[in-house]
Structure 1
Amino acid sequence: MDAIRAHDLALADRFRAGLATLGHTPVPAPGSPIVSVPGLDGLQAELARAGIAVSARAGNLRASFHLYNTAADVDRLLDVLSR
């Protein structure tokens, strides 16, 4: 279980770091594999068309990372957000 949690958190941290380089500030949630980004909820449909599963909640784009996700998934999400 600890290894899975470490994997999930590493992916969330990678996403948070990438968001910072794009000029976005996620809602603070240290220690969580869930990352919410204010103001990007309108991109959920575009991301879904690109095959990326995220949700839009309360004005935030919400990404949640787990065992089946990889660093490549995070990089792809960041790539689409950078367009």
Structure 2
Amino acid sequence: MPKGRITINEDRCKGCALCTIACPQGTIMLATDRVNAKGYTPALLVDPQGRCTGCALCAVACPDVCITVYRSVPNPQAAATV
């Protein structure tokens, strides 16, 4: 199964929450304890169990291009040689 992670540019995020709706794993939520320089509550990756697959649906949904997706796919040949 692919593993992923995202970074969110909190300074650009306007807290529209479209990424939270788009995430099939439910690993993105809006901050409750801070606001950015523009006064918005930014989105945050909350993924202590590592459920993010790097599907990039959140990045596609983000109208302000605040999300960068990193994805690693296991090499099936490496697993077969072990």
Same-fold call, TM > 0.5?
A: no
Larger Rg: 2
| Structure (1/2) with the larger strand percentage | 2
Q: Which category describes the TM-score, using the shorter chain as reference length?
A: 0.3 to 0.5
- Asked which structure has the greater RCO (Cα within 8 Å, sep 6+), the reply is 2
Give the structure with the larger helix fraction: 1
